[in-house]
Chain A
Amino acid sequence: MVFEIIDVIISGLINGSVYALMAVGLTLVYGVTKAFNFAYGSFYNMGGYFAWMLLIPVGLIGGYFSVFFVAIPVFFVVGYLLEKILISPLRKHDDWEMKVMMLTLGLSLFMDFGYQAVFGPRIKSLPGMIEGTLELGQVVLFHQDIVIFILSVGGMICFGWLLNNTRTGMAVQAVAQNPAGAKIVGIPKDFIFAATFAISTIMVGLGGILLSQKTFIDPMGSTNIMIKAWVITAFGGMGSISGSLYAAFILGMLEAFVGWHFGMIYVQIATLTLLLVTLTIRPRGLMGRE
């Protein structure tokens, strides 16, 4: 029983770490632009399919190391162009935040049906990054899970460092905290909006590469990921990065315990219950501002 619970906690931590990596990107976009990217789940799938293409049909030398090396700049460009080509023209109109939500919702459906058309309706699986297990007494850890956890936490640490120590990171923080104040100090808001979309696309794409190894790549599975990211963002507090981090690990744990104790069919119900209860009792979430 005790070892089962330890397994559940470990599973919750691993999933929570990847959720955190993904949700922080969505929170960042909301915090900076005040618009919600409903295509986020589809960009998660983009990560999975991108890795699958490079590893299986292309057979890229260097395995996952090469995949990450190629993926980061590609995802950056995709996110940047998404903002510049599709989002930026909308920002000239009134009520543009709502228009962005409608556009990204449409984009999500377009991408999902596109995946289905290109890769077929059947799920695909990614090979594990690393084989083997680590036995600590009666607790058995997969090397793959350990690597996923390390990469997710490492990704967040890198993100935090970039946010606090680079020119662009400081500008992103400034625009998120006070767009008018950012104007006073001459920060180019258009570039920061595009950079924010680019960074968030990297984060969710990497999340897709990491987590798709444990689950599968499902062309219509983006809704499930979108719901998780949405719940984490609302539960943590819209726009609060630290809130999203806490919320991601809490959601990871909740899913692991509900799945273990009640069955996987109840996981999504528990997730959405968390969202509804949060929005009813504390609409600003764990750490959101009024």
Chain B
Amino acid sequence: MSWTHHISRFAVNPIKGKISATKYEATMKRMSLPFQGPSEGLKVPPHERRTQIEKGIVTGDLVYINEGEHKGKVSSVIRYLEESDSYMLNNVSEKTLIPKHMWGPGATSHVFDYPIPIPASHIKLAAKDKDDSGKINYVVADKIAFKEKYYDDRYHQWLPRRFVKFHESIEIPWPEPNSLKDDQYCTIEPIALEKSYELQTIAKPPFPKELLSEFRNPYSHHKKRVFTEVQARRINAPNMPLSMEQKIYLAKQASKPKKVLEPLTEEMKELIGSKMAEHINKIDNPALLGHLEHVSKTKVPDFEKTLKSIEENQTSN
């Protein structure tokens, strides 16, 4: 959310991919005035952007340009552009026309030397070293290796040590950072670091309870115990429409009298018993007999249910 610019859901947004980045860039180039120069575009999507320290080259570092128009130059970094993954370097600039209202302090001409953004792939980290005889040597690191972190007092943060990859005896220390001056809006350090909170009681909430609804939404749909109609519809299967044949079949079934189970008569029991005895008497194999014995002991739940329903029928009659 931003208060400083208006965002429309329907406007073309190259970051969200409604339009291809190249197409967007071409449009921007066509629309921009000469002094604006070629549009850098939004080459790097936000989730792929890296900070200077993650890239390993920060403002103030010495770099060597190994590709492009300015190949062979050694210069220092002025600024890193995260959006386009490119660096602005000292003395690598282009004369551009700038309208008067955009002149910087002390400018006297429309022609202005403006640094060209150099893609990160075109530059390598470099370092200067003086040997004992006073001769200056340059080292260019093809790749950078990071090692254990240390707390850097100048940057006020933990930084990894930087080495030339595959020549890890050569350390390239981080450069002196730009000293930041406090402006009128900055809180001075002693006040910023002053401690005014200490947990002393677990019996009192940390802030007035009326404020809690600012942090947690009491009307959140995750907290609702009643389903909305749409949710209920999703959970329950719909009633399927029936064809004419199905309806006739169901009507017929309904009109039939209900099946009533009745207990076996003595005659039936005798018949079943005699048939089973006849069958079992034929068996000689003791293993099979043992198996039948075992099977006869297992309880069949359906059988018990049937017996129960028979009993119920008898009592109701």
Note whether A and B form a binding pair: no
